[in-house]
Chains A and B, each alone.
Chain A
């Protein structure tokens, strides 16, 4: 009896889901999900957002989305685009399958023509396959893999720096800063390139290696590893044997903590340690390893301790973030998406408020914003072969302890620098 009852309940629940799932198709102009605001018919500027809000990448996906959301609020407060308020339709894309499906949905069911996203490179790659075939604008603000834009897509643009620029920037900082501090010639510098073997790490690692070789340094270790690994001691032992002067490492958060803690345990020291965003950008790493983070360098999206003179609008962003989310940003992703979304809104405004892909495309290509005049310090110029932003690059920062708080101070390039890099990094326990 109980069995049958449960079975019937189950069937009813499923039927309810199916019926309600088909509902909106028969009733066009229904409620949008996400903001719960009604769909606009020319009254509003409706833009779709694609970020992972669930699954393993939910945290930084959410952080990225917050930046775009704050940009939306800012622009709406000052009157929207040509008097029309901007509305987001938010979609959750925990994996590539979902990215494809949700891009489909936003385009064909919600009828959107401009989508933004996505924090992760593989998600961006998958989603843009869909948008391109529909001839719809896809504006990527956080996925850094070079491959995303190397496919010759017409409707895909990217505002954030590319993976290659991370690897390159880190190595250039090393070539600039290390010889003096370590008393070695560039050609004598031994470099270890370490990266998680996902799309993000692989992309950065390959370019870091190429750039190090181009600059004439010796690459003594090139080590991919899995970010799910429960133990990195064998990797660290290999690095110890290679004795590098400079190490470029690309990690997500959990593995960056594991690496730091195990390197400390095994007493592996390297004079110049350069992370490439991801975990090495995050406050969580500082919380986990404490003083030992001081001296680590990090090439990443612009963070918050930079020269404010060259990043106008950054203070406003920080205030908005604090008011909305009750704390400081958890990483630079929010800022990068904030900056990206503002660029897009400006482009749409330039295009006369039209959401026609051709007009928006025109508007984006017309953007000509000099460097050091936005909240990230980056400029905007999308007239490149790949529709990438030619004026986007990462900043190199160094972790320091300022008034008892761990902060990343910009040290390279010079304009954004607020202090000089301190090298070599002292051994564990003496930082």
Chain B
């Protein structure tokens, strides 16, 4: 019984991490209409930034957020200007290829600059565990989970109640219409892309005390983030949160009951089945997504 309860909790906690990574992806996916194959690499860069801030400036990784997030925002804006914007009008083939190029580039520039050494960010908090009888909750994971929820709420409020947020929603629902209303589409795209990257930077900072940094850390989380985003419904933030938790649970249970080595295979299979049956995702998409490629 304890094992099952613990599996649920572990699943939810790792699901929180998946959700945290996926929120930025779903934002970019939803608004800029780009599948960012380099998303995991931005995560990796964010983790490196956190590591450097932690090691050279001695700043706690959770405080480092204040530096890392703006830095990632800036990086996102530049990337959008140089790489994404030129192909925005192109085919989805171009979108995918250009981000695959970006993936190669970032992964290997990290290898070139920082070598393949594994780096870890560990503070006293990293090893703290809340224990309730036989149930254990790791502190950094709990924090990441809470931040995922907070970010979801924050994004929701931002989109609902600020002028900029409303403009972003307008663009995601009806590009032409928004343009006619005098919204600067170009700015909205840049901002949304940069915000998505900033969010993955936040995820990176929250994950640094749990994982380790190395140039190929991205792919570990990249594909699962895609699965979460699609399951949750494109551009649907609550969907991303729920999708993340769901995948976490699936992973945890299939690992416990079937085989740890097959848990990825199982959620990929679920992913394909969901795509076949309900391609709009389990929780519905944001408005205006027909043009992304769904009937």
Interface centre among A223, A231, A232, A284 (most CB of B within 10 A): A231
Among the listed stretches A252-260, A336-344, A398-406, A412-420, which one makes contact with chain B, having 4 or more residues with CB under 8 Å of it?
A252-260
Contact A59 B115 (CB under 8 A): yes
Among the listed stretches A80-88, A148-156, A237-245, A345-353, which one makes contact with chain B, having 4 or more residues with CB under 8 Å of it?
A237-245
Interface presence of A230 (CB below 8 A): yes
Contact A224 B263 (CB under 8 A): no
Interface presence of A56 (CB below 8 A): yes
> How long is the Cα–Cα vector from A240 to B255 in the complex, in angstroms?
14
Among the listed stretches B61-69, B96-104, B175-183, B209-217, which one makes contact with chain A, having 4 or more residues with CB under 8 Å of it?
B209-217
Digitize B81-121: 1 where CB-to-A-CB distance is under 8 Å, 0 elsewhere. Answer: 00000000000000000000000000010010001111010
With a CB–CB cut-off of 8 A, which chain A residues contact B264? Answer: 226, 229
Interface presence of B20 (CB below 8 A): no
Q: A254-B212, A254-B214 are in contact. Are A234 and B251 (CB under 8 A)?
A: yes
With a CB–CB cut-off of 8 A, which chain B residues contact A58? Answer: 111, 115-116
> How long is the Cα–Cα vector from A58 to B136 in the complex, in angstroms?
36
With a CB–CB cut-off of 8 A, which chain B residues contact A7? Answer: none
Nearest Cβ in chain B — how far from A9, in angstroms? Answer: 16
Interface presence of A187 (CB below 8 A): no
Interface presence of A233 (CB below 8 A): yes
Interface centre among B131, B219, B252, B259 (most CB of A within 10 A): B259
Interface presence of B6 (CB below 8 A): yes
Which residue on A lies nearest to B265, using beta carbons? A226
Interface presence of B220 (CB below 8 A): yes
Contact residues, B1-24 vs A (CB, 8 A):
3, 6-7, 10-11, 14, 17-18
Which residue on A lies nearest to B217, using beta carbons? A254
Contact A265 B129 (CB under 8 A): yes
Contact B138 A265 (CB under 8 A): yes
Nearest Cβ in chain A — how far from B218, in angstroms? Answer: 11
> How long is the Cα–Cα vector from A266 to B138 in the complex, in angstroms?
8
Q: A224-B260, A265-B136 are in contact. Are A233 and B127 (CB under 8 A)?
A: no
Instruction: Please count how many residues in chain B sit with their CB below 8 Å of the partner chain's CB atoms.
Output: 46
Q: A58-B111, A240-B3 are in contact. Are A231 and B116 (CB under 8 A)?
A: no
Contact B129 A56 (CB under 8 A): no
Partner among B7, B14, B116 whose Cβ is within 8 Å of the Cβ of A56:
B116
With a CB–CB cut-off of 8 A, which chain A residues contact B120? Answer: 257, 284, 287-288
Nearest Cβ in chain B — how far from A247, in angstroms? Answer: 14
Q: A237-B3, A261-B127 are in contact. Are A224 and B261 (CB under 8 A)?
A: yes
Contact B118 A254 (CB under 8 A): yes
With a CB–CB cut-off of 8 A, which chain B residues contact A241? Answer: 3
Contact B260 A238 (CB under 8 A): yes
Interface presence of B229 (CB below 8 A): no
Which residue on A lies nearest to B119, using beta carbons? A284
> How long is the Cα–Cα vector from A229 to B10 in the complex, in angstroms?
14
Interface presence of B256 (CB below 8 A): yes
With a CB–CB cut-off of 8 A, which chain A residues contact B134? Answer: 267
Contact A230 B116 (CB under 8 A): no
Interface presence of B224 (CB below 8 A): yes
> How long is the Cα–Cα vector from A231 to B6 in the complex, in angstroms?
13
With a CB–CB cut-off of 8 A, which chain A residues contact B260? Answer: 223-226, 229, 232, 234-235, 238
Interface presence of A197 (CB below 8 A): yes
Interface presence of B283 (CB below 8 A): no
Contact A266 B252 (CB under 8 A): no
Interface presence of B221 (CB below 8 A): yes
> How long is the Cα–Cα vector from A289 to B127 in the complex, in angstroms?
8
Contact A230 B224 (CB under 8 A): yes
Interface presence of A190 (CB below 8 A): no
Interface presence of A77 (CB below 8 A): no
Which residue on B lies nearest to A3, using beta carbons? B86
Nearest Cβ in chain B — how far from A390, in angstroms? Answer: 34
Contact A284 B252 (CB under 8 A): no
> How long is the Cα–Cα vector from A257 to B11 in the complex, in angstroms?
19
With a CB–CB cut-off of 8 A, which chain B residues contact A266? Answer: 6, 10, 136
Nearest Cβ in chain A — how far from B270, in angstroms? Answer: 16
Q: A254-B118, A266-B136 are in contact. Are A230 and B220 (CB under 8 A)?
A: yes
With a CB–CB cut-off of 8 A, which chain A residues contact B10? Answer: 231, 233-234, 237, 266
With a CB–CB cut-off of 8 A, which chain B residues contact A238? Answer: 255-256, 260
Contact B251 A257 (CB under 8 A): no
Interface centre among A197, A258, A261 (most CB of B within 10 A): A261
> How long is the Cα–Cα vector from A235 to B263 in the complex, in angstroms?
10
Nearest Cβ in chain B — how far from A278, in angstroms? Answer: 12
> How long is the Cα–Cα vector from A267 to B17 in the complex, in angstroms?
21
Partner among A254, A258, A267 whose Cβ is within 8 Å of the Cβ of B136:
A267
> How long is the Cα–Cα vector from A238 to B258 in the complex, in angstroms?
10
Contact A267 B127 (CB under 8 A): no
Contact B221 A230 (CB under 8 A): yes
Contact B129 A264 (CB under 8 A): yes
Contact residues, B248-284 vs A (CB, 8 A):
248, 251-256, 259-261, 263-264
Nearest Cβ in chain B — how far from A67, in angstroms? Answer: 17
Partner among A59, A228, A235 whose Cβ is within 8 Å of the Cβ of B255:
A235
Contact residues, A250-295 vs B (CB, 8 A):
253-254, 257-258, 261-262, 264-267, 284, 287-290, 292
Interface presence of A54 (CB below 8 A): yes
> How long is the Cα–Cα vector from A94 to B141 in the complex, in angstroms?
33
> How long is the Cα–Cα vector from A223 to B255 in the complex, in angstroms?
11
With a CB–CB cut-off of 8 A, which chain B residues contact A258? Answer: 211
With a CB–CB cut-off of 8 A, which chain A residues contact B219? Answer: 228
Partner among B14, B117, B216 whose Cβ is within 8 Å of the Cβ of A230:
B14
Contact B6 A237 (CB under 8 A): yes
With a CB–CB cut-off of 8 A, which chain B residues contact A253? Answer: 118, 212
Contact B261 A228 (CB under 8 A): no
A-B contact pairs, 30 of them (CB 8 A): A54-B108, A55-B111, A55-B216, A56-B214, A57-B116, A62-B116, A197-B261, A223-B259, A226-B264, A228-B219, A229-B260, A229-B264, A230-B221, A231-B248, A231-B252, A233-B255, A234-B7, A234-B252, A234-B253, A234-B254, A235-B255, A253-B212, A261-B126, A261-B210, A265-B137, A266-B136, A267-B134, A267-B136, A284-B118, A287-B120
The 6 closest A-B pairs by CB, nearest first: A234-B255, A58-B116, A233-B10, A235-B260, A231-B14, A265-B138
Chain B: residues with CB nearer than 8 A to chain A? 3, 6-7, 10-11, 14, 17-18, 108, 111, 115-118, 120, 122, 126-127, 129, 131, 134, 136-138, 141, 210-212, 214, 216, 219-221, 224, 248, 251-256, 259-261, 263-264
Question: Told that A231-B10, A253-B212 touch, could you supply 7 new A-B pairs with CB distance under 8 A?
Answer: A57-B116, A229-B264, A230-B17, A231-B255, A234-B253, A265-B138, A284-B120
